Amino acid sequence: MSMAATATATAGSPTAIQNPCGFYETHSDAYYNHCTSDGSKILIEIDDWGPNTIKCVGPGVTWIGEAGDIDGAWYIGRTC
């Protein structure tokens, strides 16, 4: 299999589509997916309809709340 075919298969995998990098929501829950291969932990800011909160997240998917309570989340440029 060529490198191009491998990259296409990986990018189109169901896991990549279901769990995009960064903030995403399902019907009921909000998540932040820290896509990294270096094991780093980062600080994200969560807009949760009150004073925003800061949370340290590691690699992979982290549940950050119920979808109706979270308006967004983003990386704030710092590790933790």
Residue at 22: amino acid letter: G
- Determine the average pLDDT of the residues in 62-78: 96
pLDDT in tens, 10-26: 444 444 457 899 999 99
Q: CA-to-CA distance for 70 and 24, rounded, in angstroms?
A: 10
Label residues 63-77 b or e (16+ Cβ within 10 Å = b).
ebbeeeebeebebee
Which band of pLDDT confidence, cut at 50, 70 and 90, is reported for residue 50?
confident
Q: CA-to-CA distance for 22 and 63, rounded, in angstroms?
A: 12
Which band of pLDDT confidence, cut at 50, 70 and 90, is reported for residue 9?
very low
Q: What is the pTM of this model?
A: 0.76
Token reading at 39:
């094991």
Place of tokens 């932040």: 32
Contact 44, 55 (CB under 8 A): yes
